[in-house]
Amino acid sequence: MKRIFLVGCPRSGTTLLQTLIGAHPDLVTLPETHFYSRVVARTTAGRKFGFVRPDALRAVLGLREAGLVSMSESKAFPPRSPLLDAWSRAFIGRMDDMAIARGASGWLEKTPAHLRYIDQICRLVPDVHFVHVVRNGTDVAVSLHRAIASDPRAWRGIHFWQKNDIVACCERWATDVATSAKYAGDERHVFVRYEDAADRPGEISSELFDALGLSTTPVVLAESANARAGTAREVVLEREAWKINTDAEVSRRGAGENLSAFVEGAEAEKLAISRLTRGEAAAQTLPFVGNR
* Of 192 and 232, more confident: 192
Q: What angle do CA 65, 94, 68 make, to 5 degrees?
A: 15
Q: Is 185 strand, coil or helix?
A: coil
Spatial CB neighbours of 75, under 8 Å, sequence gap ≥ 6 = none
Closest listed residue to residue 108, CA positions, set 187, 19, 37, 184: 19
* Helices vs strands, H then E, count in the chain: 13, 5
In a domain, residue 291? The reply is: no
pLDDT of residue 249: 40
SS3 70: coil
pLDDT at residue number 276: 94
Residue 194 DSSP SS3? helix
What's residue 264's pLDDT? 76
Residue 276, domain extent: 2-283
pLDDT digits (tens, 9 = 90+) for 236-292: 776 665 565 554 344 454 555 677 777 777 788 888 889 999 999 999 999 999 875
φ, ψ for residue 16 (rounded to 5)? -60, -45
User: By C-alpha distance, which of 137, 146, 111 is closest to 18?
Assistant: 111
Residue 42 domain flag: yes
CA distance 227 to 85: 35
Is 129 a domain residue? yes
Q: Is residue 164 over pLDDT 60?
A: no
Contact status, residue 209 vs residue 149, Cβ threshold 8 Å: no
In a domain? residue 292: no
- Residue 48 belongs to a domain with what CATH number? 3.40.50.300
Dump pLDDT digits (tens) for 49-93.
899 999 998 888 888 888 887 756 655 677 788 999 999 999 999
The total number of structural domains that make up the chain: 1
Q: Does some domain include residue 210?
A: yes
Q: What is the pLDDT of residue 52?
A: 93
Any domain includes 84: yes
Please give the mean pLDDT across all residues of the chain.
87
Is the Cβ–Cβ distance between 45 and 54 less than 8 Å?
no
Structural domain contains residue 93: yes
What is this structure's pTM? 0.91
Whether residue 174 is contained in a domain is answered as yes
| Closest among 19, 259, 291 to 141, alpha carbons compared | 259
